[in-house]
Amino acid sequence: MKHWSWVAALALLPGLACAQKTAADSIAEYRALLADGNPAELFEAKGEDLWKAKRGPKNASLERCDLGQGAGVVKGAFVRLPRWFADTQRVQDLESRLLTCMSTLQGLDAEAIAKTPFGKGEQANMEALVAWISAESRGQRMQLPQAHAAEQRMYELGKRAFFFRGGPMDFSCASCHGEDGKRIRLQDLPNLTKNPGDGVGFAAWPAYRVSSGELWGMQRRLNDCYRQQRFPYPGYASEVTIALAVYMGVNAKGAESIAPAIKR
Nearer to other proteins, 119 or 167 (CB): 119
- What amino acid is encoded at 18 in this protein? C
Is 36 among the residues that bind other proteins (CB under 8 A)? yes
User: % helix / strand / coil in the chain, to the nearest 5?
Assistant: 50, 10, 40
Among 37, 57, 168, 181, binds other proteins (CB under 8 A): 37
Out of 18, 101, 176, 225, the active site residue is 225
Query: Contact region for other proteins (CB under 8 A) — 14-22, 31-39, 80-88, 90-98?
Result: 31-39
* Number of residues this chain uses to bind other proteins (CB under 8 A): 9
Query: Contact region for other proteins (CB under 8 A) — 35-43, 64-72, 183-191, 230-238?
Result: 35-43
Among 27, 31, 39, 197, binds other proteins (CB under 8 A): 39
User: How far, in whole angstroms, is CA 53 from its chain's centroid?
Assistant: 25
Nearer to other proteins, 210 or 240 (CB): 210
**Using an 8 Å Cβ cutoff, are 84 and 75 in contact?**
no
Among 24, 28, 42, 73, binds other proteins (CB under 8 A): 42
Smallest CA-to-CA distance from 201 within 183, 177, 225, 219 is with 177
Nearer to other proteins, 24 or 42 (CB): 42
Sign of the four-CA dihedral 30, 34, 35, 38: negative
Cβ-proximal residues to 48 (8 Å cutoff; 6+ apart), any chain: 132
Binding mask 197-236 for other proteins (x = CB under 8 A): -------------x--x-----------------------
* Strand, helix or coil for residue 245: helix
- 225 assigned to active site: yes
Is 117 among the residues that bind other proteins (CB under 8 A)? no
Q: Where are the alpha helices (DSSP H) in the chain?
A: 2-19, 23-35, 40-52, 94-104, 110-115, 121-135, 149-163, 173-177, 218-228, 239-251
Contact residues toward other proteins (CB under 8 A) are: 36-37, 39, 41-42, 45-46, 210, 213
